[in-house]
Amino acid sequence: MLFEGGEKREKMNNFQNNIERNHLYARKVAQIADSRRHLRRDCGSLTYRRPKKKARKAHSARERTFSRKRPLFMMLLFFVSQYFFLQSPLFQFREIKIEGNNHLESAVFEEKLSLSPSFSYWNLSPESLEESLTSLHRLEDASVSVDFPGQVNVKVSERKPSFFVAYRRDQKHWFSVDETGVVLEGQQPKSGLKFLLPHPIKGGTKVRPKDMQVVRFFEDHVDGPLGKQIRAINISNTRQVSLKVLIHKRPVWVRLGRPERLEYKLFLLSELLGQLAKEKVEIKSIDLRYSAPVVKMMPPKS
């Protein structure tokens, strides 16, 4: 009986050992199979296949922190690179192109615009440049546009002379004036109405509104033979109007007085000049301030 019991225990131990050996062998086979997954059988031969790499996990706290801040770092790096790219010489101011300018020099525009090579395409403001140019009294309007990468286009329209003015005590220096009354520049008149004003004239200033009323009246009503005979129109401090008229090739002053009923006075002067043209007499002055015209003759030559 004892012999039979010992034999049974030995068989049980052998059975357990066989199970453990089989279990270890199965684990070893599984490990070998797992390590050779990158090998595949193709037409009876083994072909190499690169194993897939598993994503590496951050093991330290520093690596985990950098991984979380990586998108922010990349965004910051992008903006910094864009800043230096946009400030590169590619976008710097290069030249000015001007259209419509006939009287002003290019240096005047460059001085007013105050542009230097340090200016870039991104900090050029067309509105502020237009405001700077319209301060030039010679220009009526100005438009500015900026073309990529650094060209400034300027298109201007100049004021056109409408009549001429001079200081009554300095009739050697005449200035052209546009239709709005802006004094433009010194210019010797060849044609057009000429007005003598009681105050000094300076470019960039404006003719007084009351004087402009007189100017507009004569621009609208003086034409034909009378307009050809008028050499100058004088306006005094008290707004007394007088004309320098050419009679028999000799200048004669005609007093019109205050700017009232000027249309009637001009009609009367035209009729009077028509009659005087037929007479060979020298006229000293004509006064139309009264109800009846007063004509003064030159004394006869002895």
Q: What is the pLDDT of residue 249?
A: 87
CB-based contact 226:204 (threshold 8 Å)? no
Report yes or no on 191 lying in a domain: no
**74-114: pLDDT as tens digits:** 777 666 655 555 555 555 666 778 888 888 888 888 788 77
Task: Determine the Cα–Cα distance for residues 204 and 111; give it in Å rounded to an integer.
Answer: 17
Range of the domain at 229: 222-302
Report yes or no on 11 lying in a domain: no
* Domain CATH for 105: 3.10.20.310
Structure tokens at 149: 């990468």
Report yes or no on 19 lying in a domain: no
CB-based contact 72:89 (threshold 8 Å)? no
Tell me the pLDDT band of 150, cut-offs 50, 70 and 90: low
Report yes or no on 136 lying in a domain: yes
Structure tokens at 132: 């700077």
Report yes or no on 28 lying in a domain: no
Task: Determine the Cα–Cα distance for residues 215 and 253; give it in Å rounded to an integer.
Answer: 18
DSSP 91: G
Q: What is the pLDDT of residue 2?
A: 44
Report yes or no on 264 lying in a domain: yes
| Number of domains composing the chain | 2
Largest Cα–Cα distance in the chain? 191
Report yes or no on 198 lying in a domain: no
* Domain CATH for 236: 3.40.50.11690
Task: Single out the residue in 128, 158, 188 at which a domain terminates.
Answer: 158
Range scoring the smallest mean pLDDT among 57-66, 177-186, 210-219: 57-66
